[in-house]
Structures are given as structure tokens and as C-alpha cells.
Amino acid sequence: MQINFGHINSSLGTRVLGKKLRLEIEESLRNDGFVIFNFEGVNTVSHSFADECFGKLLLSWNIEELKAKSTFQNTNALIKKTVAFTLKERASEMALA
């Protein structure tokens, strides 16, 4: 499965959209699929979108499983930083729980 985020918008910012995409991602991951996150054409993602779309995946899979089952393509420095921060933040919250 490939998600072409640039076909959605050049700026991704809502939890509603993040949740919609996460549900699709979760279904593919559960069915042993490999997911490509293609950010071509995307300039920015919000923390809220990144947490809902990617951070909450950590509720079902650990980071190593996600790395083995997915990859990011065409991400700029801001997108990389936002997604990485969100994943680290979510992992830290779960470690404290």
C-alpha cells in the first residue's frame, strides 16, 4: 500500500484526517502489508496530524515492527523532524504509563 499524501494536500494538519489515514494504515499492517508513506508535494505536517496518523500506531505496534513494515519517502526536513518528535513523544508517554 502506498499513501500519496501530496494528493491530499500540501499541508496536513487535522486529527480527523490523521485518524482516517491511520485506520487505513492499521488495516494494511494487520494484513501483513507493507506501507509506503510518500510525502511528495507536501510542505508541512502538524504535530496533531503526525500524532494521530503515526504516533498512535505505537499503541498497537512497537517502533521496530513499524520500521520493518513501512517506509517514508520524499520527506523534507520539517516533516522528518515533526514525525520523529511525535513518535518519540508518544513512546515516552507510553513508557511512563
Q: Tens digits of per-residue pLDDT, 8-35?
A: 999 999 999 999 999 999 999 999 789 9
* pTM score: 0.92
pLDDT at 97: 66
Task: Give the chain's largest Cα–Cα span.
Answer: 37
Q: What span, in angstroms and rounded, lies between the C-alpha atoms of 80 and 97?
A: 26
Q: How many domains does the structure of the chain reveal?
A: 1
What letters, b where the CB count within 10 A reaches 16 and e where it falls short, cover 68-83? ebbeeeebeeebeebb
41-to-56, 66, 69, 88, 94 alpha-carbon distances in Å: 24, 23, 23, 25, 32
Domain residues for the domain of 34 are: 2-96
Tell me: the pLDDT tens digits for 34-80? Answer: 999 999 999 999 999 999 999 999 999 999 999 999 999 999 999 99
